[in-house]
């Protein structure tokens, strides 16, 4: 059931408030990096991997237009907190787009405000996540099809789309908020969940009648729907079979119109403006300062260099003198040519600049009598602010130190900076410092026997003592879920405190991930029902991105899989025994927390009457035969001549197989086949035999199964008793010298006229079917060529 109550709108999408915007120098991004705070006029062309486009304003040029165009084959492209603004109503264009993804690209689209375009999101291929975006105010030129998100098929086997927690408000009477069709190729692996979807002709439009391509693994769940002018849903299966049309809907609620009326939008009275160098553009969002009179070129000399977003290290902070006035002289080190700001609690009490070597000194403003906590930060040339330094605790006024205490030796240097090296429950192999322990144990090194204080930002979370070898361990006080930047200082026996250590970033995640979803499929991609004759299945599903999936059959663990960046996973279940199977799965996230089990996928595997058949037998001049047939996809086929095993072969994706014998003697050979499991146990036997004659004249006799004959030499006699099955003669020679003979039992046919009365031409072959339901096919034979001398009756 859809439960989301907070939706993307003008207050929580687009350029963040206070962002300083400057004009980009080019719209072509060809160098990896973070591009932030830029104004682009015209399409932004992302042409390389590892690019983040954030806090940017992208404006239309009053033409057929795409806001952001992602070239094919790119990895790790992120588009977030951007305002993508089309030209709106424009009679000179036929359609505009917000974000287009092409080729097999990995793209994440977060928290953008997309408006005044015809189609905010258009996907051709790739692995795409669309989350937290606000798409609204659909406007373009005449003939535009207004689609909030459109996928037209042909996206490739690796295509995946997760669309979650977006607000898509289509104010036009066509076409939809979500549009999916199979016009250009297959559709597969789409999850649309927990979105606010409103408007269009139909709000959700899935049309599989546009082409003959499959539409599979499409799940639309837990969305809030606001009906279009014709209704909520248009789901058209077209001519697809049930196996090729897998569209599921669940938990969707028809309250979208009421929820859309509560959004902070220009239509609801919530719009503000974005300043871009003096020109005011309505975005329905919050205010982003573009610098007043800032101007720039849009030439082709390349975009602004990737923005430096790495925070500098915390400065060191040392008191120069014993405090006996209300001013404190401080000095320390920080990054070269950075600005150092000194705080007393949250109040700024002094600023200074570092020189080329990183040294700085500041005399504070007057401080009141009593204890104080002085800290400092460093701001580099790119505007990045460091973590807070270790605090100093000067006492201002006439208060004298405790007579029993030992003051620090003013002549001794501060101790070396400590380190933080590990934490409990960390996935060390991944190196990501993610844990589900919200009171983790930290370890590190420091000066031997020194006192180690550990901080989360400016908050002390624990104190311990290093041992005689300089090793220390500390269980931190409880931390909240989320990211934390930890530092440590050590204080030696002389009372001097070191500079803060390098920051040790950790992430606390105690949240249990959602249970995975799961369905069973054949190797060909068709969904498998509750009962199947297939013994080799594939389990596909979704779960939290980059998590570990454990798969169970009943209580037995049968294997593991890993989810992709988009949260999809797949597992080959292996050969399954006949009987009932109950598949479940759990997801373990990066922090090591395991979800509840998924809903069980119940499948009963039954043994078919026969799954092994022969399609052809041929012998070359070296007396080596090639035997071909069909069985279950990916199964093992074992060939026999009599009771002698000739070897095994594995069937292909479509169930076809081919086996080549060794050298054969010039006699009649009778072959059978069996399907076997991984332990060599027989699952199914061929229903008949493959019978290969010698190069001379042979008498070849049918069995009660479905037999395949190759006479090889001529003339040959093929003998058929009652209930002979469905047999095929591959090389029958009719009439003339050396013609072959079919000998029927008189209880089947008793004369040539009776045979002709039951014979039909089927393509290039003749099929003779008796009244008992048995049939004999004479391959590559014309009915008119048959002669009474070709048949005997005994």
Two domains, one topology: 517-605 and 613-793: yes
DSSP 731: T
Regions of the chain where pLDDT drops below 70: 1-5, 90-92, 94, 157, 266-311, 319-326, 382-383, 395-413, 425-432, 607-611, 678-679, 681
pLDDT of residue 252: 94
Long-range contact pairs involving 279-282 (C-beta distance under 8 Å, separation at least 24): 281/57, 281/59, 281/85
Looking at residue 294, its pLDDT comes to: 29
Class of CATH domain 517-605: mainly beta
pLDDT value of residue 618:
92
What does the pLDDT read at residue 282?
31
Query: Residue 788 is encoded by which pair of tokens?
Result: 């009474």
Q: Please report which residue ranges of 198-302 form alpha helices under DSSP H.
A: 256-260
The burial class, CB within 10 Å (0-12 / 13-18 / 19+), for 458 is: middle
pLDDT at site 286: 31
The SS3 assignment for 116 reads: coil
pLDDT at 412: 55
Instruction: Give the pLDDT confidence score for residue 266 in this predicted structure.
Output: 58
Which residues contact residue 723 at a Cβ distance below 8 angstroms, ignoring those fewer than 6 apart? 704, 772, 774
> Which residue, among 668, 666, 667, 671, has the nearest Cα to 643 in the 3D structure?
671
Domain ranges of the chain: 22-282, 318-396, 419-508, 517-605, 613-793
Residue 370 dihedral angles phi and psi, to the nearest 5°: 120, -170
Counting Cβ atoms within 10 Å, is residue 385 exposed (0-12), middle (13-18) or buried (19+)?
Answer: middle
Q: What architecture does CATH give domain 318-396?
A: Sandwich (2.60)
CATH of domain 613-793: 2.60.40.10
Q: What is the dihedral of CA 530, 534, 535, 540, to 10 degrees?
A: -60
**Cβ atoms of residues 341 and 409 within 8 Å:** no
CA proximity to 335, closest of 362, 317, 353: 353
* Range 445-448, long-range pairs (CB < 8 A, 24+ positions): 445/418, 445/419, 445/421, 445/470, 445/471, 445/472, 446/415, 446/416, 446/418, 446/419, 446/470, 446/472, 446/488, 446/490, 446/498, 447/415, 447/416, 447/418, 447/490, 447/492, 447/498
Do residues 227 and 255 lie in contact, with contact meaning Cβ atoms separated by under 8 Å? no
pLDDT, tens digit, 9 for 90 and up, residues 547-569: 999 999 999 999 999 999 889 99
Cβ neighbours, 10 Å, residue 50? 14
The string over 94-121, giving b where at least 16 C-beta atoms fall within 10 Å of a residue's C-beta and e elsewhere, is ebbbbbbbbebbbbbbbbbbbbbbbbbb
Whose tokens are 């002085």? That residue is 374
Q: What gap in Å lies between CA 428 and CA 443, rounded to an integer? A: 14
Contact 240, 208 (CB under 8 A): yes
Question: What is the per-residue pLDDT for 308?
Answer: 59
Q: What is the pLDDT of residue 499?
A: 85
**3-state SS assignment for residue 36:** strand
Q: Read off φ and ψ for residue 753, nearest 5 degrees.
A: -60, -40
65 by Cβ neighbours in 10 Å (0-12 / 13-18 / 19+) ranks as: buried
310: number of Cβ within 10 Å:
8
Q: Which string of b and e fits 562-590 if b means at least 16 CB within 10 Å?
A: ebbebbbbebebebbeeeebebbbbbbbb
Cα separation, 678 vs 398, whole angstroms: 87
Distances (CA, A) of 429 to 27, 115, 548, 590: 39, 43, 14, 11
φ/ψ (deg, to 5) at 726 = -120, 100
Element (H, E) at 660: strand 656-663
Pair 688, 610: CB distance under 8 Å: no
Give residue 512's pLDDT. Answer: 86
State the CATH architecture for 419-508.
Sandwich (2.60)
CA-based diameter of the chain, in Å? 133
The CB density around residue 375, as the number of other CB atoms within 10 Å, is: 21
Considering the entire predicted model, what is its pTM?
0.40
């Amino acid at each position: 059931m859809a439960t989301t109550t907070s939706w993307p709108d003008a207050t929580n999408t687009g350029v963040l408030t206070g962002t300083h915007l400057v004009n980009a120098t080019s719209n072509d991004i060809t160098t990896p990096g973070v591009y932030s705070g830029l104004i682009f006029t015209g399409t932004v062309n992302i042409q390389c991997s590892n690019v983040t486009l954030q806090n940017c304003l992208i404006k239309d040029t009053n033409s057929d237009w795409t806001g952001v165009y992602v070239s094919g084959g790119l990895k790790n492209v992120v588009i977030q907190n951007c305002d993508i603004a089309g030209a709106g109503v424009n009679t000179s264009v036929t359609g505009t787009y917000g974000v287009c993804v092409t080729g097999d690209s990995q793209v994440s689209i977060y928290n953008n405000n997309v408006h005044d375009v015809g189609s905010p999101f258009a996907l051709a291929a790739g692995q795409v996540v669309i989350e937290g975006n606000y798409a609204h105010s659909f406007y373009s030129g005449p003939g535009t099809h207004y689609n909030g998100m459109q996928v037209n098929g042909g996206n490739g086997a690796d295509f995946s789309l997760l669309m979650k927690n977006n607000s898509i408000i289509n104010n036009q009477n066509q076409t939809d908020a979500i549009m999916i069709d199979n016009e250009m190729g297959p559709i597969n692996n789409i999850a649309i969940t927990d979105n606010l979807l409103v408007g269009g002709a139909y709000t959700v439009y899935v049309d599989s009648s546009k082409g003959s391509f499959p539409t599979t693994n499409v799940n639309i769940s837990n969305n809030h729907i606001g009906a279009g002018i014709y209704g909520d849903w248009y789901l058209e299966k077209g001519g697809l079979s049930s196996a090729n049309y897998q569209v599921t809907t669940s938990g969707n609620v028809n309250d979208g119109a009421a929820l859309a009326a509560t959004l902070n939008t220009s239509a609801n009275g919530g719009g503000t403006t974005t300043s871009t160098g003096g020109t005011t553009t309505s975005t329905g969002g919050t205010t982003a300062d573009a610098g007043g009179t800032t101007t720039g070129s849009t030439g082709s000399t390349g975009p602004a260099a990737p923005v430096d977003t790495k925070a500098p290290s915390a400065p060191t902070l040392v008191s120069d003198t014993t405090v006996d006035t209300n001013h404190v002289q401080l000095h320390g080190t920080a990054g070269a040519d950075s600005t150092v700001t000194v705080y007393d609690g949250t109040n700024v009490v002094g600023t200074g600049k570092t020189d080329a070597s990183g040294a700085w000194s500041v005399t504070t403003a007057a401080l009141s009598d009593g204890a104080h906590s002085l800290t400092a930060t460093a701001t580099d040339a790119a505007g990045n602010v460091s973590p807070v330094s270790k605090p100093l605790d000067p006492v201002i006024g006439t208060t004298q130190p405790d007579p029993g205490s030992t003051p620090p030796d003013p002549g001794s240097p501060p101790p070396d900076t400590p380190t933080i090296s590990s934490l409990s429950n960390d996935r060390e192999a991944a190196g990501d410092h993610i844990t589900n322990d919200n009171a983790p144990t930290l370890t590190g090194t420091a000066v031997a026997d020194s006192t180690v204080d550990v901080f989360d930002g400016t908050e002390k979370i624990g104190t311990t003592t290093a041992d005689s070898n300089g090793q220390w361990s500390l269980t931190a006080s409880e931390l909240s879920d989320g990211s934390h930047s930890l530092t440590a200082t050590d204080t030696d026996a002389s009372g001097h405190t070191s500079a803060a250590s390098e920051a040790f970033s950790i992430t606390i995640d105690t949240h249990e991930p959602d249970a995975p979803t799961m369905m069973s499929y054949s190797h060909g991609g068709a969904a498998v029902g509750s009962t199947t004759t297939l013994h080799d299945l594939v389990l596909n599903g979704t779960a939290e991105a980059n998590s570990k999936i454990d798969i169970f059959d009943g209580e037995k663990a049968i294997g593991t899989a890993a989810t992709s960046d988009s949260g999809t996973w797949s597992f080959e279940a292996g050969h399954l025994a006949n009987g009932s199977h109950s598949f479940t799965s759990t997801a373990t996230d990066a922090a090591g927390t395991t979800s509840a089990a998924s809903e069980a996928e119940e499948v009963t595997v039954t043994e078919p009457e026969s799954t092994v058949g022969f399609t052809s037998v041929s012998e070359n001049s070296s007396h080596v035969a090639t035997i071909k047939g069909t069985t279950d996809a990916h199964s093992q086929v074992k060939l026999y001549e009599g009771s002698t095993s000739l070897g095994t072969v594995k069937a292909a994706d479509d169930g076809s197989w081919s086996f080549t014998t060794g050298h054969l003697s010039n006699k009649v050979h009778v072959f059978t086949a069996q399907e076997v499991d991984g332990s060599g146990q027989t699952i199914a036997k061929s229903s008949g035999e493959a019978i290969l004659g010698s190069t001379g004249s042979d008498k070849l006799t049918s069995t009660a199964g479905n037999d395949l004959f190759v006479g090889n030499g001529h003339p040959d006699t093929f003998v058929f008793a009652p209930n002979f099955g469905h047999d095929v003669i591959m090389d029958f020679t009719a009439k003339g010298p050396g013609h072959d003979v079919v000998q029927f039992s008189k209880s089947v046919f008793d004369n040539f006229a009776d045979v002709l009365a039951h014979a039909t031409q089927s393509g290039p072959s003749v099929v003779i079917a008796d009244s008992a339901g048995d049939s004999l096919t004479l391959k590559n034979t014309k009915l008119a060529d048959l002669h009474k001398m070709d048949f005997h009756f005994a």
